[in-house]
Amino acid sequence: MAPIENPAIVLRKVGEIDLEVRPVPFIEEPHYVKIAIKATGICGSDIHYYRTGAIGKYVVKSPMVLGHESSGEVVEIGAAVTRVKVGDRVAIEPGVPSRYSDETKEGRYNLCPCMAFAATPPIDGTLLKYYLSPEDFLVKLPGNVSYEEGAAAEPLSVGVHSNKLAEVKFGSKVVVFGAGPIGLLTGAVARAFGASDVIFVDIFDNKLDRARKFGATQVLNSSKLSKASQVQELANKIKEVLGGVLADVVFECSGVDSCIDASVKTVKVGGTMVQIGMGQNYVSFPIAEVSGKEMKLIGCFRYNFGDYRDAVNLIASGKVNVKAMITHRFKFEDAKKAYDFNIAHPGEVVKTIIFGPE
């Protein structure tokens, strides 16, 4: 018998999340797959939409299903599907580009202006029972990778993409500003890619303690050097921690003005800085140093071809332990409690997983 209910966690408007029953989707395209969602991570963007209703140009104007960090089981396939079969356990890459855009044709589909990305208005997300995806945006989960680990492949893919952009390699000296979920995973990938030094910088000791599980060779609490007037002193301290040299690569994952400034000052001549964190749209920036060092300053946006596959492989091989990032777990019917808990306990939560629905 075909399923008749599709419960979904829906953001109706700012501050209001409800459990609704949506129609069960039908496969209309031959290369599409129906997945029963088993685990979904809460992303900071979900929280931002819940609290403010918008992120930049993306505004919630009508009820939207939340969630985009998901894994699940294939329960039905289209007539032309060859990559997966019913019963396969998969991670779901949540952004599907248009094949007609120049960006997609250039091999940078993550920059496609027509990207349909789950839980980015007006596109519904993955936090429901049944979800449709094209087969080529699914990655099979090996037997030793759980559903919650599969859900964590989404943020891990950002870490993979940023390290590829920076060309981190064996022996690289890396600094990561911000030990939140993306910072932790980015540093862990750097170590997996062969970096000899990965220095995490943050203002909270509990985050830095956790960073030791994500490849940190050393950590630095910058809380006493966080003022704009202390940026050079902070950069000098990082240089000291690195043994008297500057970093080959700096990943800025905080979005904080002073950290962006310090990142530029921490990169060696000819080095690379990757800006991942999102803060204010305009910041005070030492542009003369960028030119004087002839350094590379690279923006990072989501992930591209192969990044999701590589993220799952890093998990399966044990090179990145995403379970160490998962601090809280909730049942599907308690999803609203999960979002409210994340908002009320930002110092405790790293990554929350919502299981189900069953």
Per-residue pLDDT of 135-151, as tens digits, reads 999 999 999 999 999 99
pTM above 0.85, yes or no: yes
| Domain boundaries 6-140+321-355, CATH class | alpha beta
pLDDT at residue 56 in the model: 86
Question: Letter for the amino acid at 103?
Answer: E
The CA distances from residue 104 to 46, 100, 101, 113, in Å, are 26, 7, 5, 9
For residue range 41-70, what is the model confidence (pLDDT) as tens digits? 999 999 999 999 999 899 999 999 999 999
Sheet of strand 16-22: strand arrangement: 16-22, 6-13, 64-65
pLDDT at residue 78 in the model: 98
Q: Is CATH 3.40.50.720 correct for 158-299?
A: yes
Q: How far apart are CA 45 and CA 51, in angstroms?
A: 10
Domain boundaries, the chain: 6-140+321-355, 158-299
Q: How far apart are CA 136 and CA 139, in angstroms?
A: 8
pLDDT at residue 1 in the model: 37
Using a 10 angstrom Cβ sphere, with 0-12 exposed, 13-18 middle and 19 or more buried, the burial of residue 159 is: buried
Question: Letter for the amino acid at 134?
Answer: P
pLDDT at residue 4 in the model: 64
pLDDT beneath 50: ranges in the chain: 1
